[in-house]
Amino acid sequence: MQSLFVDGNSRMHRISARTKLIVLAVLGVILFTTSNIVLLAIAVAATGALYLGIGMPLRAAIARLKPILLTILIVAVFSLAFNPWHGAVVSLLRLTALMLFAASVTATTTITQFMDEITFLARPFERMGLVRADDVGLAVGLVVRFVPEILGRYQAIREAHEARGLKVRPATVLVPLIILTLKDADNIAAAIDARGVRRHVN
């Protein structure tokens, strides 16, 4: 499977995973408490510079963001259709800045670090009997791990359609993608259970 992590020695790589996740949460709150376009534009420029400073080739860095950028643009267009232009621009800038910083975090944090931090954060809830911290950490780790794999499968299915001269349609792409993803999920779940990673309640 592919990974979102990019090996390197940038400043973001040297910051602890816990600090990055806390900053991400704080940044999300700050971005959604202001509607100042100038401040939001500065946030986009700053997070963009941070993301490009990780050390990835420019083409690869942009390619990783294409699916999310497309989603943000769709949200902005819908916002523009039902709200004044100012609201649409604010939404676009907010989501772009948050996406760029989140991409920087995922590119400089290993799956193991993610799982350790999420498990640590879930410990108080485990003591309250609400969740199992290890299971929560494992679930988050699998989600992060699956994202690049799903995107890669989607691209491969599109290319297969184009190679056969078939028109790419949502139904013809999403159906095999969902089937393949569910098949992988079943295989991974079986492997996890076979190794006794998850605890079961009788």
Residues 17 and 99 in one domain: yes
Residue at a domain's end among 109, 138, 153: 109
* SS3 state of residue 129: coil
Residues 81 and 137 in one domain: no
Residue at a domain's end among 80, 109, 138: 109
Domains identified in the chain, total number: 2
Residues 76 and 89 in one domain: yes
- Could you tell me which of 51, 43, 10 has the C-alpha nearest to residue 27? 43
Residue at a domain's end among 75, 109, 143: 109
- Taking CA 36 as the corner, what is the angle to CA 32 and CA 37, rounded to the nearest 5 degrees? 105
DSSP state of 104: H
In tens digits, the chain (202 residues) has pLDDT values of 446 778 888 889 999 988 998 999 999 999 999 999 999 999 999 999 999 989 888 888 888 887 777 778 887 788 777 778 888 888 889 999 999 999 999 889 888 888 888 888 888 888 888 878 887 777 777 777 677 677 777 778 888 878 888 777 777 777 777 777 777 667 666 666 665 655 544 4
What's the CA gap between 57 and 176, in Å, rounded? 31
